[in-house]
Amino acid sequence: MTELATPPTEQQADVKRINHWIGGRSVAGDSGRSGPVYNPARGKQTGAVDFASTEEVDRAVQAAKAAFPAWRAMSLSRKSSILFRIRELVFQHKDDIARILTSEHGKVFSDAQGEVARGLEVVEFCCGIPELLKGGYTEQASTGIDVYSIRQPLGVVGGITPFNFPAMVPMWMWAPAIACGNTFVLKPSEKDPSASVFTADLLKEAGVPDGVFNVVHGDKVAVDALLQHPDVVAISFVGSTPIARYVYETATNNGKRCQALGGAKNHMIVLPDADIDMAADAAVSAGYGSAGERCMAVSMIVAVGHAADELVDAIKERLPKVKVGDGMQADSEMGPLITREHREKVAAYVENAPSEGASVVVDGRDGAPDGGGFFLAPSLLDNVKPGTKAYDDEIFGPVLGITRVDTYEEAVRLVNENPYGNGTAIFTRDGGVARQFQFEVQAGMVGVNVPIPVPVAYYSFGGWKNSLFGDLHIYGPEGIDFYTRGKVVTSRWPDPATSKVDLGFPQTR
Ligand code: NAD
């Protein structure tokens, strides 16, 4: 096996201290609180991340507030050049960022490279910010009167992100936020925080003025400080559903605009006419990629009619070939889970499946590599029924469930009755049924023979039901709307010939 590189976090010391980034520089925390960061493949602590106090969050918000007027006033062409420069620097350092992701999150290096690449697409979209902020103009709306619309930034905005995409999800937020002229305070996941500080340094090098982009680490204390801060005007959140709901309610109760993306239970329907090999490849890739720790992972397969037996056999045949190992080993396809506790929690779903009436077709607890890492090999459960924990919970690990139904209608009903509505997919050769599915399914992102339908950067990402609290999806056109406010100007230049007193409601003439 080839070792690709040593993660930078481990070259320097056994346990590295991970600081905040406030006002354009690295700032050591002074709250006296910190959290452990692990290399999940080795099960060893590699970092200690500072946890911000309310006062430290306030310092970051004040830095962002001070930077706002000048950043807002900077021309779009200069902002756009800075975004192009950010794009170049992130691109140049994509493998450095990917190594950091693998060392703290555990996902395999190629998957980490993919994460950076998908995040970069959002930065590339934002390089076109002059075009994206273009308003409308109506000449002579009334005699001598012109009307035009503009979009303006909000001010200081906050972003709170999950552990599973430590580079991409922050990019979904900070790129459009700062492109629109806001200043930004990021609270990344405390489990894998280093990519955010690494990126902060790149943004500075790209010419982002000090204070425009800040990072505070921490837990609920830091999150609550952002949610309650009077100078923070909007909050973007991505994470689990209970915290998303809490963040949305707290932020909006405090008068803030909020988009809070939550968890998921993504169903993939396989119809009897589907290409079973293609569906099995897709199910394995989407179910076990990133060890199932993706909000768009397929976690339930709804197999219709005779597709079920064929699919179980096809997936079962593929699973022993999935290479589980340290993400820095070139041949690893699936890495460990994020923490030991999470690994135990996921393993318990497999343990308890028989008592809930499901059968364990492949038991991943048997195939995990030895050593101290938080590994769990792929598991496959069959006959998983709604109302059981394995069906209802977002497992967020390498456990794929199959539920069997007789008809397409039953399959769609299962998806539509599920409280989550992030992504879903249908595998079929029948275009008419696929079109009907797209028409009636209750989910925000739909794949037709595509298992992980994450929208490209010029569309927006977001689920329905318990997968999103708020009105606007993230990145793409809705991201631009979220980070700006509209203004309409009605203008007349002095023309003494048409000036008179008129107390009636203005009418167009
Ligand atoms: P999480 O909800 O535990 O944490 C997300 C963020 O909230 C972190 O920054 C964390 O520090 C903070 N947080 C945690 N507990 C908190 C509390 N009690 N009060 C205030 N803040 C708190 O989520 P996670 O485990 O980091 O990430 C996995 C979850 O994120 C999964 O549910 C996954 O589906 C979801 N996710 C959703 C999307 C999406 O686009 N819908 C994308 C990625 C991940």
Both structure tokens of 490 = 């009605």
Give 474's contacts (C-beta < 8 A, 6+ positions apart). Answer: 172, 173, 236, 238, 259, 261, 460, 461, 462, 482
* pLDDT over 80 (residue 2): no
Average pLDDT over residues 86-102: 98
Kind plus residue range of the DSSP H or E element containing 35 = strand 34-39
* Cα 290 to middle of ligand 1, angstroms: 16
* pLDDT over 80 (residue 176): yes
Q: What is the pLDDT of residues 374-410, one digit of tens each?
A: 999 999 999 999 999 999 999 999 999 999 999 999 9
The rounded distance, in Å, linking the Cα atoms of 63 and 153 is 17
Q: Would you give the distance in Å from CA 123 to the centre of its chain?
A: 14
For ligand 1, atom 24, which residue shows the shortest CA distance? 162
Query: Which atom of ligand 1 lies at the shortest distance from residue 474's CA?
Result: 40
Residue indicated by tokens 């999103």:
468
* Cα 217 to middle of ligand 1, angstroms: 14
Confidence tier at 105 by pLDDT (50, 70, 90): very high
Query: Which atom of ligand 1 lies at the shortest distance from residue 264's CA?
Result: 34
Q: Does the CB atom of residue 96 touch ligand 1 within 6 A?
A: no
Give the CA-trace dihedral at 391, 394, 395, 398, to 10 degrees.
90
Query: According to the model, what pLDDT value does residue 436 have?
Result: 98
Both structure tokens of 312 = 């179980």
The rounded distance, in Å, linking the Cα atoms of 448 and 456 is 15
The rounded distance, in Å, linking the Cα atoms of 130 and 191 is 36
Query: According to the model, what pLDDT value does residue 13 have?
Result: 56
Q: What is the pLDDT of residues 307-364, one digit of tens each?
A: 999 999 999 999 999 999 999 999 999 999 999 999 999 999 999 999 999 999 999 9
For ligand 1, atom 10, which residue shows the shortest CA distance? 189
Query: Which atom of ligand 1 lies at the shortest distance from residue 218's CA?
Result: 11
State which amino acid sits at residue 41: A
The angle that helices 109-126 and 76-92 make with each other, rounded to 10 degrees, is: 170
- What single DSSP character describes residue 3? B
Give 122's contacts (C-beta < 8 A, 6+ positions apart). Answer: 168, 171, 172, 175, 176, 457, 475, 479
- Strands (E) across 354-444 are located at 359-362, 379-382, 399-405, 420-421, 423-427
Handedness of CA 335, 340, 341, 346 (dihedral sign): positive
Q: What is the pLDDT of residues 241-285, one digit of tens each?
A: 999 999 999 999 999 999 999 999 999 999 999 999 999 999 999
Buried b (16+ CB within 10 A) or exposed e, 319-344: beebebbbbbbeebbbbbbbbeebbe
Q: Does the CB atom of residue 422 touch ligand 1 within 6 A?
A: yes
What radius of gyration, in Å, describes the C-alpha atoms of the chain?
25
Q: Does the CB atom of residue 164 touch ligand 1 within 6 A?
A: yes
Bridge partners of 185, per DSSP, are: 158, 214
* Percent of the chain predicted with pLDDT > 90: 94
For ligand 1, atom 23, which residue shows the shortest CA distance? 239
Q: Does the CB atom of residue 423 touch ligand 1 within 6 A?
A: no
Query: Which atom of ligand 1 lies at the shortest distance from residue 463's CA?
Result: 41
Contact 171, 461 (CB under 8 A): no
* Cα 230 to middle of ligand 1, angstroms: 23
The rounded distance, in Å, linking the Cα atoms of 95 and 118 is 14
Give Cα separations from 67 to 63, 184, 209, 476 (angstroms). Answer: 6, 10, 7, 25
Judge whether 295 counts as a catalytic residue: yes
Using most ligand atoms within 8 A of CB, pick from 240, 299, 424 the residue to mutate for ligand 1: 240
Backbone torsions φ then ψ of 264, nearest 5 degrees: -155, 160
Handedness of CA 463, 464, 469, 471 (dihedral sign): positive
Give the CA-trace dihedral at 103, 94, 297, 45, to 10 degrees.
10
